[in-house]
Chain A
């Protein structure tokens, strides 16, 4: 069966520090991968999605970037975090087309 791993579960970072969040999927090949951000009590904001290695589409311009160095690995990065980057970051995968998305447990990021 397919599983998705996302870490760390929580992270506290100072303003201006770098960020690297990693997500890996097991049990499937060539998944579509997604990064979302969710502010407290709010909906899901799609940040990036990828349909293949090295292919990244950005939905919202900001100081975050994403990379997909391997088929089942998706990384969210920032060189310098802002206070507004705080939130709940969720990675998800799908089989593509109309197939549903399956989410990781998420990372709660607090910026001090």
Chain B
């Protein structure tokens, strides 16, 4: 079946360093969505990418969708403590069901 692989599972950074998480799909996706889950909270929708090669920015967050619509990345510049949480990608498959990545947990080193 369709799968979305997300790496890394964890990333420890010093506050102010950058963070990147990557998602790769075994098949072409209609779109890709990104969600953030704060510790103890529920996933919250961040953004949706639809077009091949699309790049979108939200302040310090940059989202990219690959040319083949099989991969995506989220890059955070100069992390802050408010960025802590788990970031999930979710690709929309052919049956309009979301295929979720396993998430990348962003941990800020004390």
Question: Which residues of chain A are near B44, meaning CB under 8 Å?
Answer: 103
- Interface of chain A, main secondary structure: loop
The reply to whether B88 and A98 form a contact with Cβ atoms under 8 Å apart is no
A103 contacts across to B, CB distance below 8 A? 42-44
CB distance from A9 to the nearest CB of B (A): 11
* Segment at the interface with A among B12-20, B61-69, B75-83, B96-104: B96-104
Do residues A96 and B96 form an inter-chain contact, with CB atoms below 8 A? yes
User: Per a CB cutoff under 8 Å, which of A44, A49, A97, A106 touches B88?
Assistant: A44
Contact call B42/A43, Cβ cutoff below 8 A: no
Question: Are A43 and B102 also in contact (CB < 8 A) when A49-B97, A97-B96 are?
Answer: yes
A3 within 8 Å of B by Cβ?
A: no
Q: How many residues of A contact B (CB 8 A)?
A: 17
Which of B43, B96, B97 meets A90, CB within 8 Å? B43
* B30 & A98 in contact (Cβ 8 Å cutoff): yes
Q: Which of A41, A44, A104 contacts B100 (CB 8 A)?
A: A44
Most chain B beta carbons < 10 A, residue from A41, A98, A102: A98
CA distance A104 to B42 in the complex (A): 7
B33 lies within 8 A of chain A by Cβ: yes
Q: How many A-B residue pairs have CB under 8 A?
A: 42
For B4, the closest partner residue in chain A by CB is A43
B96 A43 Cβ-Cβ under 8 A = no
A100 touches B88 (CB 8 A): no
A43–B10 Cα distance when bound, in Å, is: 12
8 A Cβ contacts from B26-47 to A? 30-31, 33, 41-45
Chain B interface (Cβ < 8 Å from any Cβ of A): 30-31, 33, 41-45, 48, 50, 88, 90, 92, 96-98, 100-103, 105
7 A-B pairs in the complex with CB atoms less than 8 angstroms apart: A41-B105, A43-B100, A44-B100, A46-B100, A90-B42, A97-B96, A98-B48
